[in-house]
Amino acid sequence: MNNVSPAAVSTRILTDFTTAFGEKVAQHIALVGRPGLPEEIAKVIVFLASKNVTGSKARIWSSTGV
């Protein structure tokens, strides 16, 4: 089993979350440089679901937007 564990992703909910939690969210995003894009996360998921992945198991794939 693999796990995709993205950092902040640029979606509508991120805007709401940033509004609700303000500076703390901005600081965490600054640590990784920028929010990821949904398309970037999708590419990781497509890759993991492909027949090209045969030896990856029990791994957490981080996506930090960098």
Rounded Cα gap, residues 31 and 12, in angstroms = 20
Q: Does the predicted TM-score (pTM) go above 0.75?
A: no
Give the contacts of 51 (CB within 8 A, at least 6 positions apart): none
Tokens 């949904």 belong to residue: 38
DSSP-H helix ranges across 4-64: 12-21, 23-32, 38-49
Rounded Cα gap, residues 64 and 37, in angstroms = 10
Residue 23: give the domain boundaries. Answer: 2-63
pLDDT tens track for 29-50: 888 888 889 998 898 888 888 8
Domain count, the chain: 1
pLDDT tens track for 9-18: 999 999 898 8
Label residue 20 by pLDDT band (50, 70, 90). very high
